[in-house]
Chain A
């Protein structure tokens, strides 16, 4: 112990013996010493009215409780002392406006305020392990209790601001020590606040990392609108282990909408056809993640028909479960995985290079020959085959309706028969040939047209695709086989498409062919169609393209058709 401290304590003791004012038995020695420390100011202070000590104010600080003692005059001459588990503050020439306050906080359990003559003595009973600091303002004292020890800038012996039981008194007589105490107190408080802020920042950062909003993803699409979906049972009941997935907000999934649309001008020399501007499909593509492995995908199409009336149709609605790369399960209405084009480009003209689809992949409602939509179940995934990059897809669904030409061809809610359509596909994306894909699929269904025996339908498709940043080569062939009793009707078809990019432009060429027998029981009006298409696509912005295309279609026993299509296709 250093000499100034010994001298200080001795002085306190001498003044304490001389004091006659403090008489409480339990605190007498202590309060005597405190009183002694303040005696030298008494003579000056007694000439004026006593200071008023207002009711204590308790606030919660990060490390414990803070009690503020305020007065209507300076509190420079206070004295403080520990005794056992009690901490005392003596304020001379003061008047307490309340006798006792029943307050407790973190770090202390009881406060007593005693008016002793013209002095006010405050005592705090400390909780085990708690420490206390006193911060001094002009007319207030902040008593800061700490329930846990925090790192101190210096050792306690050299830090007079950090008091613990047994620490000697700090009084106004030692102004240098007091000033040091104040500075250290401020530093301590700032350190505490910084620590609390750092903890808060860490919490926010951790939340941010786990809770990236879809707007922060790499998609720089012009619009990736997200709207809060209404709370559903499925959403609110997501499993606990999926809580951290990044698209939950407030416990509900978020819906992302991507729009696709196109505007066309068509002119042809086909008899009966007139040139016209035509609004294409408005495709609203919806996605939402329900959990780490469950997601929903939807595609809503609004389109004007030949009667200029709008129709609305749900073209895709799927609940998907992605177990891993080798097994993904979907249920709902989907695009049949026949060949490549149907799943790669389907709706959304902006995706495809050309202004229209090949004959063989024309939509059912436009006279297409393939069941491009199906309602049922689908599984897909990778096949462990490191260098080949093999994938599989297997589908089961209602298949296509043929009973009446007035019926919708996609059997979304009712099936004409109990038999189900199957489709199995396998394709490869070899690692060694980025951009290359080849595959094969086989589809099987039984069709039951009115007034006809059951017809077995088998569709085989193969594709060979190569795409890189400059070149695009699409080649696909299908064979549709209808078996009626002992007769078999075979419809072959194919297309080949080539394009090359030059800056924002991409000229392309396509040749296509389909040849259905005239007496085919399912395709009586398809016949043979073949011919080239020449076109040019120009990307006028990252998400909008202009296409100009010339089609020449040769038909069996019918006049050929020359058609010009101008198209603006965009995504938003």
Chain B
């Protein structure tokens, strides 16, 4: 399946004279939440439960879980589908349609079409959880550790 390259990715391609220098943190996705969220760390299975809407409320009392996703065709989304959902695009749509059909879904994942939009939504929406490239995180959101690991740590699972 062809993958649409987002504009910011295209811009980031090094020129011919520029050495390719991609640190491990650039290859990883940071899981970000609203700064009011008291969680600092989630186990991978908990993270999966939140993203898959198996839990609709934060166990820490941070309110309703609001999953924010990037639009289809973006590398970050595909990485999350692969590493967290273990699904492809079709399975993802079918999964949430099924949950909705069974009445198990309170709120479908929201869609954001750029990293700034994603960060802005997460920073403004209590209970929100999403993801951006580790080198694109800013101070308006909080990065969650997964199984005690942050982007850049050895063994961090969520990678592009």
Contacts and interface: CB of A to CB of B under 8 A. Distances in A.
A325 B55 contact: yes
Contact of B124 (A209, A348, A434, A468): A209
A60 interface: no
Given A325-B56, A434-B86, A539-B90, A218 B103 contact: no
B124 A206 contact: yes
Interface residues of A, number: 42
Given A258-B97, A320-B103, A217 B108 contact: yes
A324 to B, nearest CB: 5
Contacts, number: 84
Among B55, B89, B91, B102, find the residue whose CB has the most chain A CB atoms closer than 10 A.
B102
Nearest to A297: B103
B82 to A, nearest CB: 10
A343 B102 contact: yes
Which 4 A-B pairs rank lowest in CB-CB distance, beginning with the nearest? A218-B109, A217-B108, A431-B45, A209-B124
B100 A216 contact: no
B96 A295 contact: no
8 contacts: A217-B111, A218-B67, A221-B97, A318-B103, A325-B57, A351-B94, A431-B45, A542-B93
Interface string B72-110: 100000000000001111111110111011110011111
A344 interface: yes
A66 B102 CA distance: 60
Interface string A235-250: 0000000000010000
Given A218-B92, A330-B103, 13 more contacts: A216-B111, A218-B108, A218-B110, A219-B93, A220-B93, A246-B107, A324-B56, A343-B102, A346-B101, A382-B55, A431-B45, A469-B87, A469-B91
B98 A542 contact: no
Interface of A: 205-206, 209-210, 212, 214, 216-221, 246, 258, 285, 287, 292, 295, 297, 318, 320, 322, 324-325, 330, 343-344, 346, 348, 351, 382, 389, 429, 431-432, 434, 468-469, 539, 542-543, 571
Contact of A221 (B57, B93, B102, B111): B93
Interface in B38-70: 45, 48-49, 54-57, 64, 67, 69
A218 B101 CA distance: 15
A348 B98 CA distance: 10
Contacts of A429: 54
Contacts of B107: 217, 246
Nearest to A347: B101
B120 A205 contact: yes
A434 B103 CA distance: 20
A543 to B, nearest CB: 8
A217 B86 contact: no
Contacts of A221: 93, 97
